[in-house]
Structure 1
Protein backbone atom coordinates (compact mmCIF):
# COMPACT_ATOMS: atom_id res chain seq x y z
CA UNK A 1 0.00 0.00 0.00
CA UNK A 2 2.86 2.34 0.72
CA UNK A 3 4.37 1.57 -2.64
CA UNK A 4 1.12 2.57 -4.46
CA UNK A 5 1.01 5.86 -2.54
CA UNK A 6 4.63 6.63 -3.43
CA UNK A 7 4.00 5.88 -7.13
CA UNK A 8 0.93 8.15 -7.14
CA UNK A 9 2.99 10.90 -5.52
CA UNK A 10 5.75 10.55 -8.13
CA UNK A 11 3.18 10.59 -10.94
CA UNK A 12 1.52 13.70 -9.49
CA UNK A 13 4.89 15.47 -9.22
CA UNK A 14 5.75 14.51 -12.81
CA UNK A 15 2.36 15.86 -13.97
CA UNK A 16 3.03 19.18 -12.21
CA UNK A 17 6.43 19.39 -13.89
CA UNK A 18 4.85 18.76 -17.32
CA UNK A 19 2.35 21.54 -16.73
CA UNK A 20 5.14 23.91 -15.64
CA UNK A 21 7.36 23.03 -18.60
CA UNK A 22 4.74 23.87 -21.25
CA UNK A 23 5.77 26.70 -23.59
CA UNK A 24 4.68 30.24 -22.74
CA UNK A 25 1.69 31.16 -24.92
CA UNK A 26 2.26 33.77 -27.63
CA UNK A 27 0.63 37.19 -27.17
CA UNK A 28 -2.87 37.37 -28.59
CA UNK A 29 -2.83 38.60 -32.19
CA UNK A 30 -4.14 42.13 -32.66
CA UNK A 31 -7.53 42.33 -34.32
CA UNK A 32 -7.76 42.78 -38.08
CA UNK A 33 -9.09 46.36 -37.51
CA UNK A 34 -7.53 48.71 -34.98
CA UNK A 35 -6.68 52.38 -34.51
CA UNK A 36 -3.32 54.11 -34.59
CA UNK A 37 -1.84 57.60 -34.66
CA UNK A 38 -0.01 59.03 -37.68
CA UNK A 39 3.64 59.54 -36.81
CA UNK A 40 5.01 60.53 -40.24
CA UNK A 41 3.70 60.94 -43.78
CA UNK A 42 5.72 59.68 -46.77
CA UNK A 43 5.17 59.76 -50.54
CA UNK A 44 4.27 56.05 -50.56
CA UNK A 45 2.42 55.80 -47.23
CA UNK A 46 2.70 56.65 -43.55
CA UNK A 47 4.44 55.61 -40.36
CA UNK A 48 1.96 54.69 -37.65
CA UNK A 49 2.40 54.79 -33.91
CA UNK A 50 0.87 51.55 -32.64
CA UNK A 51 1.31 51.26 -28.90
CA UNK A 52 5.04 51.72 -28.32
CA UNK A 53 6.07 50.65 -31.84
CA UNK A 54 6.31 52.43 -35.19
CA UNK A 55 5.19 50.59 -38.33
CA UNK A 56 4.86 51.53 -41.99
CA UNK A 57 1.48 51.41 -43.71
CA UNK A 58 -0.04 52.19 -47.11
CA UNK A 59 -3.04 54.44 -47.66
CA UNK A 60 -6.15 52.83 -49.09
CA UNK A 61 -6.83 54.33 -52.56
CA UNK A 62 -10.06 55.92 -51.26
CA UNK A 63 -8.22 57.90 -48.54
CA UNK A 64 -7.14 61.37 -49.64
CA UNK A 65 -3.71 62.42 -48.39
CA UNK A 66 -5.17 65.70 -47.03
CA UNK A 67 -7.40 63.68 -44.67
CA UNK A 68 -4.35 61.92 -43.24
CA UNK A 69 -2.42 65.20 -42.97
CA UNK A 70 -5.32 66.73 -41.04
CA UNK A 71 -5.52 63.71 -38.74
CA UNK A 72 -1.80 63.98 -38.01
CA UNK A 73 -2.01 67.72 -37.32
CA UNK A 74 -4.95 67.26 -34.91
CA UNK A 75 -3.54 64.05 -33.34
CA UNK A 76 -6.66 62.16 -34.43
CA UNK A 77 -6.54 58.39 -34.69
CA UNK A 78 -6.91 56.55 -37.97
CA UNK A 79 -8.59 53.23 -38.69
CA UNK A 80 -6.09 50.59 -39.83
CA UNK A 81 -6.62 47.15 -41.34
CA UNK A 82 -4.07 44.38 -41.14
CA UNK A 83 -4.27 42.48 -44.39
CA UNK A 84 -2.70 39.29 -45.64
CA UNK A 85 0.95 38.89 -44.76
CA UNK A 86 0.69 41.54 -42.05
CA UNK A 87 0.50 44.48 -44.51
CA UNK A 88 -1.09 47.51 -42.85
CA UNK A 89 -3.55 49.74 -44.74
CA UNK A 90 -5.00 53.03 -43.45
CA UNK A 91 -8.75 53.04 -44.19
CA UNK A 92 -9.64 56.53 -42.94
CA UNK A 93 -9.51 59.03 -40.12
CA UNK A 94 -11.65 58.95 -37.00
CA UNK A 95 -12.80 62.55 -37.00
CA UNK A 96 -12.82 64.24 -33.61
CA UNK A 97 -13.28 67.76 -34.99
CA UNK A 98 -16.46 69.12 -36.59
CA UNK A 99 -16.67 68.90 -40.37
CA UNK A 100 -17.66 72.08 -42.26
CA UNK A 101 -21.03 71.71 -43.93
CA UNK A 102 -21.91 68.73 -41.74
CA UNK A 103 -21.40 69.76 -38.11
CA UNK A 104 -22.19 73.08 -36.40
CA UNK A 105 -19.24 74.82 -34.77
CA UNK A 106 -18.23 78.25 -33.52
CA UNK A 107 -15.54 78.85 -36.18
CA UNK A 108 -14.35 77.25 -39.41
CA UNK A 109 -11.25 78.21 -41.31
CA UNK A 110 -10.94 76.93 -44.84
CA UNK A 111 -7.60 77.38 -46.57
CA UNK A 112 -7.28 76.57 -50.23
CA UNK A 113 -5.86 77.97 -53.47
CA UNK A 114 -9.38 78.19 -54.87
CA UNK A 115 -12.78 77.75 -53.31
CA UNK A 116 -15.75 77.02 -55.51
CA UNK A 117 -19.30 77.09 -54.25
CA UNK A 118 -21.92 76.03 -56.77
CA UNK A 119 -25.67 76.16 -56.42
CA UNK A 120 -28.28 75.23 -59.00
CA UNK A 121 -30.73 78.03 -58.20
CA UNK A 122 -29.49 80.28 -55.43
CA UNK A 123 -26.41 80.87 -53.27
CA UNK A 124 -26.77 82.89 -50.07
CA UNK A 125 -24.18 84.28 -47.71
CA UNK A 126 -25.58 85.89 -44.58
CA UNK A 127 -24.47 87.14 -41.18
CA UNK A 128 -27.29 88.35 -38.94
CA UNK A 129 -28.76 91.39 -40.80
CA UNK A 130 -26.42 91.46 -43.83
CA UNK A 131 -26.74 89.19 -46.84
CA UNK A 132 -25.55 88.60 -50.40
CA UNK A 133 -27.69 86.41 -52.64
CA UNK A 134 -26.71 85.13 -56.09
CA UNK A 135 -29.59 83.83 -58.19
CA UNK A 136 -29.49 81.63 -61.29
CA UNK A 137 -31.62 84.13 -63.20
CA UNK A 138 -28.57 86.45 -63.28
CA UNK A 139 -29.42 88.56 -60.27
CA UNK A 140 -27.17 89.61 -57.37
CA UNK A 141 -28.83 91.06 -54.30
CA UNK A 142 -27.04 92.69 -51.40
CA UNK A 143 -28.84 93.68 -48.25
CA UNK A 144 -27.45 95.56 -45.26
CA UNK A 145 -27.99 98.68 -43.22
CA UNK A 146 -24.85 100.12 -44.83
CA UNK A 147 -23.11 98.91 -48.00
CA UNK A 148 -19.56 100.04 -48.63
CA UNK A 149 -17.70 99.55 -51.90
CA UNK A 150 -14.06 100.58 -52.36
CA UNK A 151 -11.50 100.42 -55.14
CA UNK A 152 -7.78 101.21 -55.23
CA UNK A 153 -7.99 101.93 -58.94
CA UNK A 154 -10.97 102.48 -61.22
CA UNK A 155 -14.35 101.64 -59.69
CA UNK A 156 -16.57 100.79 -62.63
CA UNK A 157 -20.33 100.38 -62.52
CA UNK A 158 -21.77 99.17 -65.82
CA UNK A 159 -25.42 98.60 -66.69
CA UNK A 160 -28.03 99.48 -69.30
CA UNK A 161 -29.85 101.44 -66.68
CA UNK A 162 -28.81 102.67 -63.22
CA UNK A 163 -31.48 103.59 -60.71
CA UNK A 164 -30.49 105.57 -57.62
CA UNK A 165 -33.25 105.68 -55.03
Structure 2
Protein backbone atom coordinates (compact mmCIF):
# COMPACT_ATOMS: atom_id res chain seq x y z
CA UNK A 1 0.00 0.00 0.00
CA UNK A 2 2.84 2.28 0.87
CA UNK A 3 4.29 1.71 -2.58
CA UNK A 4 1.09 2.97 -4.28
CA UNK A 5 1.16 6.11 -2.16
CA UNK A 6 4.76 6.84 -3.24
CA UNK A 7 3.85 6.45 -6.95
CA UNK A 8 0.88 8.75 -6.53
CA UNK A 9 3.07 11.19 -4.67
CA UNK A 10 5.65 11.25 -7.51
CA UNK A 11 2.92 11.80 -10.09
CA UNK A 12 1.46 14.62 -8.02
CA UNK A 13 4.86 16.27 -7.59
CA UNK A 14 5.57 16.05 -11.30
CA UNK A 15 2.17 17.56 -12.15
CA UNK A 16 3.01 20.54 -9.91
CA UNK A 17 6.31 21.15 -11.79
CA UNK A 18 4.57 21.34 -15.17
CA UNK A 19 5.27 19.43 -18.39
CA UNK A 20 8.79 18.20 -19.01
CA UNK A 21 10.75 20.00 -21.68
CA UNK A 22 11.34 17.89 -24.75
CA UNK A 23 14.53 18.28 -26.80
CA UNK A 24 14.06 20.30 -29.99
CA UNK A 25 14.48 18.00 -32.98
CA UNK A 26 17.32 18.94 -35.32
CA UNK A 27 16.88 19.32 -39.05
CA UNK A 28 15.95 16.10 -40.78
CA UNK A 29 18.96 14.30 -42.24
CA UNK A 30 18.99 13.33 -45.87
CA UNK A 31 18.65 9.61 -46.37
CA UNK A 32 21.92 7.73 -46.74
CA UNK A 33 21.06 7.08 -50.40
CA UNK A 34 19.46 9.67 -52.68
CA UNK A 35 19.48 11.00 -56.23
CA UNK A 36 20.91 14.25 -57.54
CA UNK A 37 21.60 16.08 -60.79
CA UNK A 38 25.13 16.52 -62.11
CA UNK A 39 26.00 20.19 -62.67
CA UNK A 40 29.67 19.75 -63.55
CA UNK A 41 32.37 17.11 -63.73
CA UNK A 42 35.78 18.12 -62.38
CA UNK A 43 39.11 16.34 -61.94
CA UNK A 44 38.57 16.03 -58.19
CA UNK A 45 34.92 14.92 -58.42
CA UNK A 46 31.54 16.33 -59.39
CA UNK A 47 29.28 19.22 -58.46
CA UNK A 48 25.80 17.96 -57.67
CA UNK A 49 22.46 19.74 -57.66
CA UNK A 50 20.49 18.65 -54.60
CA UNK A 51 17.18 20.44 -54.43
CA UNK A 52 17.96 24.15 -54.74
CA UNK A 53 21.58 23.83 -53.55
CA UNK A 54 24.80 22.49 -54.99
CA UNK A 55 27.34 20.30 -53.24
CA UNK A 56 30.70 18.76 -54.13
CA UNK A 57 30.97 14.98 -54.28
CA UNK A 58 33.57 12.37 -55.10
CA UNK A 59 33.26 9.60 -57.66
CA UNK A 60 33.33 6.04 -56.41
CA UNK A 61 36.32 4.25 -57.99
CA UNK A 62 33.93 1.79 -59.69
CA UNK A 63 32.18 4.60 -61.62
CA UNK A 64 33.75 5.71 -64.90
CA UNK A 65 33.70 9.51 -65.40
CA UNK A 66 32.28 9.05 -68.93
CA UNK A 67 29.13 7.50 -67.45
CA UNK A 68 28.62 10.56 -65.24
CA UNK A 69 29.36 12.94 -68.10
CA UNK A 70 26.74 11.12 -70.18
CA UNK A 71 24.24 11.45 -67.33
CA UNK A 72 24.98 15.19 -67.14
CA UNK A 73 24.54 15.63 -70.90
CA UNK A 74 21.21 13.74 -70.93
CA UNK A 75 19.96 15.36 -67.68
CA UNK A 76 19.75 11.96 -66.02
CA UNK A 77 20.00 11.65 -62.25
CA UNK A 78 22.85 9.97 -60.39
CA UNK A 79 22.74 7.83 -57.27
CA UNK A 80 24.57 9.40 -54.31
CA UNK A 81 25.59 7.89 -51.00
CA UNK A 82 26.22 10.03 -47.93
CA UNK A 83 28.96 8.70 -45.67
CA UNK A 84 28.88 8.85 -41.88
CA UNK A 85 31.25 11.83 -42.01
CA UNK A 86 28.89 13.71 -44.36
CA UNK A 87 30.95 13.23 -47.54
CA UNK A 88 28.96 12.58 -50.69
CA UNK A 89 30.01 9.83 -53.10
CA UNK A 90 28.44 9.24 -56.53
CA UNK A 91 27.97 5.48 -56.84
CA UNK A 92 26.19 5.27 -60.20
CA UNK A 93 23.93 6.82 -62.79
CA UNK A 94 20.24 6.17 -63.27
CA UNK A 95 20.05 5.58 -67.00
CA UNK A 96 16.68 6.48 -68.46
CA UNK A 97 17.54 6.08 -72.15
CA UNK A 98 19.11 3.21 -74.09
CA UNK A 99 22.80 3.66 -74.81
CA UNK A 100 24.09 2.78 -78.30
CA UNK A 101 26.65 0.02 -78.11
CA UNK A 102 25.37 -1.13 -74.72
CA UNK A 103 21.63 -1.64 -75.00
CA UNK A 104 19.67 -3.38 -77.72
CA UNK A 105 16.89 -1.21 -79.05
CA UNK A 106 14.47 -1.16 -81.97
CA UNK A 107 16.56 1.46 -83.78
CA UNK A 108 19.22 4.11 -83.30
CA UNK A 109 19.64 7.19 -85.41
CA UNK A 110 22.94 8.99 -85.37
CA UNK A 111 22.93 12.36 -87.10
CA UNK A 112 26.23 14.12 -87.57
CA UNK A 113 28.23 15.98 -90.15
CA UNK A 114 30.91 13.30 -89.86
CA UNK A 115 31.01 9.94 -88.14
CA UNK A 116 34.30 8.22 -87.44
CA UNK A 117 34.61 4.63 -86.33
CA UNK A 118 38.13 3.70 -85.36
CA UNK A 119 39.02 0.06 -84.76
CA UNK A 120 42.53 -1.12 -84.03
CA UNK A 121 42.34 -4.44 -85.88
CA UNK A 122 38.97 -5.00 -87.52
CA UNK A 123 35.70 -3.20 -88.14
CA UNK A 124 32.66 -5.11 -89.32
CA UNK A 125 29.17 -4.06 -90.33
CA UNK A 126 26.58 -6.76 -90.77
CA UNK A 127 22.86 -7.11 -91.35
CA UNK A 128 21.59 -10.70 -91.36
CA UNK A 129 23.36 -12.32 -94.37
CA UNK A 130 25.30 -9.30 -95.69
CA UNK A 131 28.56 -7.96 -94.24
CA UNK A 132 31.44 -5.58 -94.86
CA UNK A 133 34.68 -6.13 -92.96
CA UNK A 134 37.65 -3.75 -92.86
CA UNK A 135 40.90 -5.25 -91.57
CA UNK A 136 44.03 -3.49 -90.34
CA UNK A 137 46.17 -5.50 -92.78
CA UNK A 138 44.66 -3.41 -95.60
CA UNK A 139 41.90 -5.79 -96.59
CA UNK A 140 38.23 -5.03 -97.30
CA UNK A 141 35.85 -7.97 -97.52
CA UNK A 142 32.24 -7.77 -98.65
CA UNK A 143 29.88 -10.68 -98.39
CA UNK A 144 26.34 -10.96 -99.68
CA UNK A 145 24.17 -13.01 -101.97
CA UNK A 146 24.24 -10.11 -104.43
CA UNK A 147 26.61 -7.12 -104.49
CA UNK A 148 25.57 -4.07 -106.48
CA UNK A 149 27.88 -1.17 -107.28
CA UNK A 150 26.62 1.92 -109.13
CA UNK A 151 28.11 5.21 -110.22
CA UNK A 152 26.54 8.33 -111.73
CA UNK A 153 29.86 9.26 -113.32
CA UNK A 154 33.03 7.25 -113.77
CA UNK A 155 33.18 3.92 -111.93
CA UNK A 156 36.86 3.29 -111.41
CA UNK A 157 38.40 0.03 -110.23
CA UNK A 158 42.13 0.26 -109.69
CA UNK A 159 44.49 -2.52 -108.63
CA UNK A 160 47.75 -4.11 -109.64
CA UNK A 161 45.82 -7.23 -110.45
CA UNK A 162 42.08 -7.88 -110.88
CA UNK A 163 40.79 -11.39 -110.47
CA UNK A 164 37.29 -12.24 -111.60
CA UNK A 165 36.04 -15.56 -110.34
TM-score, L = length of structure 1: 0.65
Q: What are structure 2's unaligned runs of at least 5 residues?
A: 1-10
Q: Deviations over 1:25-56 (max 9, x none)?
A: 12342232221111222232111111222111
Structure 2 CA distance for aligned equivalents of residues 130 and 90 of structure 1: 43
1:94 maps to which residue? 94
Structure 2 CA distance for aligned equivalents of residues 42 and 139 of structure 1: 42
1:76 maps to which residue? 76
How many pairs does the alignment contain? 154
1:146 maps to which residue? 148
Q: Does the 8 Å CA contact 1:130/1:145 hold for their aligned counterparts?
A: no
Q: What are structure 1's unaligned runs of at least 5 residues?
A: 1-7
1:49 maps to which residue? 49
1:26 maps to which residue? 26
TM-score, L = length of structure 2: 0.65
Root-mean-square deviation (CA, aligned residues, Å) is: 4.0
Structure 1 CA distance for aligned equivalents of residues 150 and 129 of structure 2: 15
Q: Does the 8 Å CA contact 2:100/2:108 hold for their aligned counterparts?
A: no
